């Protein structure tokens, strides 16, 4: 049996019922806390029972919903006499059930029996989005507009000239769910915990790019005369898309303007050669629009800030060496740039992620509830809470996970319900 995963944060996982929580006002169901989420399960669910867990903003396959009679519209189910609770978009939501948080769906192992799977292979900890090539779930995407769609070649039918080699300007590392991956940390690991900011990610490099040869240079090359092939230039990118105004390939942007190149122009003189900076842009995308709804971080209208969370040195072969977190902080101090606020550091065994969830860090600090290592960035009054934290441990390549607040997951769900998908979700 083959288990396939494309995006681990939106994969189904076989989990064991370890504990359940009684829910006020609910006689027939209980809460099942797992991975920082809570699923609502039947009161007769047994401790030690294995179940299939799907987390918020995962989309179930149509077949899975149909076979298991999960659709709210009865006519869509295999048994049209049964009405479920899943809408036609098949999306798992973070919501309130009779006042209690529900941010995951737990299904019995038998829900996969239609695939003809060997139930003995469904062991605790197994994750999948496909089983033997059959899709079970994936990340839910609401595509209103698509940032990074390529336009037509602005130079007609001529061959496109793209200056940037992707290996010299790599995307940032994917950040796994902390709660699903906490077992990968050792008790003795020194971890750094930073404020996870809710904006849009960007990368900014001072790297080697291809030179576009003029007619004379092309002629000389034809006769075997060596011509300089590369040159250094400053390049910006969103998480997935390279933003190069000097390329022959037109790039469309998620926002009305290219906020990534704008930010590059503000900071580029601080970027050393062969260096790429990764960070979060927060605040405003223009004079009248926020990067993320309800999250201006109290910045004046029309302004934005970059907060750095990673830096690498890249050679001409695309080999990257990461800066340590301390080196990043020293770089920011020396250049006047800003790093993502560090909230805590210490041994992993002393870290409790729950202490950092469903909170507004700046207000907590003001109340003397917490003594953070650096001042968190304050939220708007209408921001429900901080998104959560990132947990970093130094390795040859740093291992970084993210712990999101349940209250923030509910906020994300409401934004999607309104018909708007934030740029970070679209690019994930």
Task: Please choose, from the candidates 187, 185, 183, the residue with its C-alpha nearest in 3D space to the C-alpha of residue 349.
Answer: 187
Residue 149 lies in a domain: no
User: Structure tokens of 305?
Assistant: 């800030």
Residue 160 lies in a domain: no
Q: Determine the Cα–Cα distance for residues 6 and 169; give it in Å rounded to an integer.
A: 22
Q: Determine the Cα–Cα distance for residues 230 and 315; give it in Å rounded to an integer.
A: 13
Are 366 and 227 part of one and the same domain?
A: yes
Alpha carbons within 13 angstroms on the beta-carbon side of residue 396 total 2
Residue 153 lies in a domain: no
Q: Determine the Cα–Cα distance for residues 11 and 425; give it in Å rounded to an integer.
A: 15
Are 252 and 364 part of one and the same domain?
A: yes
Are 129 and 173 part of one and the same domain?
A: no
Show the beta-strand stretches assigned E in 57-164. Answer: 58-60, 95-97, 100-102, 104-108, 127-128, 130-131, 134-135, 137-139
Residue 375 lies in a domain: yes
Are 265 and 385 part of one and the same domain?
A: yes
Range of the domain at 219: 166-422
Are 299 and 401 part of one and the same domain?
A: yes
Are 39 and 100 part of one and the same domain?
A: yes
Residue 151 lies in a domain: no
288-319 pLDDT per residue, tens: 899 999 999 999 999 999 999 999 999 999 99
Q: Which residues pair with 101 in a beta bridge?
A: 96
Q: What is the pLDDT of residue 251?
A: 59
Are 57 and 203 part of one and the same domain?
A: no
DSSP 94-122: -EEETTEEE-EEEEEGGGGGGGT--GGG-
User: Structure tokens of 112?
Assistant: 């996969």
Residue 103 lies in a domain: yes
Question: Which of 120, 139, 158 is at the close of a domain?
Answer: 139
Q: How far apart are the first and last CA of the chain?
A: 28
Q: What is the pLDDT of residue 317?
A: 92
Q: Determine the Cα–Cα distance for residues 325 and 304; give it in Å rounded to an integer.
A: 23
User: Structure tokens of 234?
Assistant: 């400053």
**By three-state DSSP, how is residue 296 classified?**
coil
Structurally, the chain folds into a number of domains equal to 2
Kind and range of the H or E run holding 382? none
Alpha carbons within 13 angstroms on the beta-carbon side of residue 44 total 1
Are 292 and 346 part of one and the same domain?
A: yes
Are 17 and 106 part of one and the same domain?
A: yes
Residue 324 lies in a domain: yes
Are 233 and 135 part of one and the same domain?
A: no
Q: What is the pLDDT of residue 150?
A: 38
pTM, two decimals, is 0.84
Cα 242 to chain centroid distance, Å, stands at 18
Q: Determine the Cα–Cα distance for residues 355 and 370; give it in Å rounded to an integer.
A: 10
CATH number of the structural domain spanning residue 268 = 3.30.470.30
Are 10 and 91 part of one and the same domain?
A: yes
Low-confidence ranges of the chain (pLDDT < 70): 143-160, 213-223, 227-228, 247-256, 369, 419-428
User: Structure tokens of 362?
Assistant: 């700046």
Are 178 and 123 part of one and the same domain?
A: no
Residue 154 lies in a domain: no
């Amino acid at each position: 049996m083959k288990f396939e995963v494309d995006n681990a944060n939106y994969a189904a996982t076989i989990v064991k019922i370890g504990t359940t929580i009684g829910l006020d006002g609910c006689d027939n169901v209980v809460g099942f806390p797992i991975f920082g989420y809570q699923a609502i399960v039947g009161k007769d669910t047994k401790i030690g029972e294995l179940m299939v867990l799907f987390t918020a903003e995962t989309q179930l396959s149509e077949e899975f919903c149909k076979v298991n009679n999960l659709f709210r519209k009865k006519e869509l189910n295999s048994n049209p006499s049964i009405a479920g609770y899943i809408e036609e978009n098949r999306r798992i939501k973070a919501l309130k059930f009779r006042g209690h948080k529900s941010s995951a769906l737990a299904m019995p192992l038998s829900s996969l029996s239609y695939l003809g799977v060997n139930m003995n292979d469904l062991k605790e900890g197994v994750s999948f989005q496909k089983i033997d090539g059959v899709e079970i779930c994936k990340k839910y995407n609401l595509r209103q507009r698509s940032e990074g769609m390529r336009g037509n070649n602005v130079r007609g039918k001529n061959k496109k000239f793209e200056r940037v080699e992707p290996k010299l300007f790599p995307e940032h590392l994917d950040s796994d769910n902390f709660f699903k991956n906490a077992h990968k940390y050792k008790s003795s690991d020194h971890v750094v915990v930073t404020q996870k900011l809710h904006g849009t990610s960007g990368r900014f490099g001072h790297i080697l790019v291809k030179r576009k040869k003029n007619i004379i240079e092309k002629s000389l090359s034809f006769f075997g005369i060596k011509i300089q092939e590369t040159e250094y230039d400053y390049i910006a990118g969103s998480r997935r898309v390279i933003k190069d105004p000097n390329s022959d390939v037109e790039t469309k942007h998620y926002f009305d303007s290219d906020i990534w190149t704008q930010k590059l122009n503000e900071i580029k003189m601080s970027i050393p050669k062969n260096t790429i900076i990764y960070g979060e842009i927060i605040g405003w995308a223009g004079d009248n629009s926020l990067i993320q709804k309800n999250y201006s971080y109290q910045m004046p209208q029309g302004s934005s800030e970059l907060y750095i969370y990673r830096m690498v040195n890249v050679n001409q072969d695309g080999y990257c060496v990461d800066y340590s977190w301390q080196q990043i902080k020293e770089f920011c101090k020396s250049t006047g740039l800003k790093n993502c606020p560090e909230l805590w550091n210490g041994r992993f065994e002393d870290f409790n992620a729950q202490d950092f969830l469903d909170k507004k860090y700046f207000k907590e600090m003001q109340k003397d509830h917490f003594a953070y290592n650096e001042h968190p960035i304050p939220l708007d009054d209408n921001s429900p809470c901080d998104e959560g934290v990132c947990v970093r441990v130094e390795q040859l390549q740093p291992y970084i996970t993210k712990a999101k607040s349940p209250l923030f997951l509910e906020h994300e769900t409401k934004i999607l319900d309104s018909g708007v998908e934030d740029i970070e979700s679209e690019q994930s």
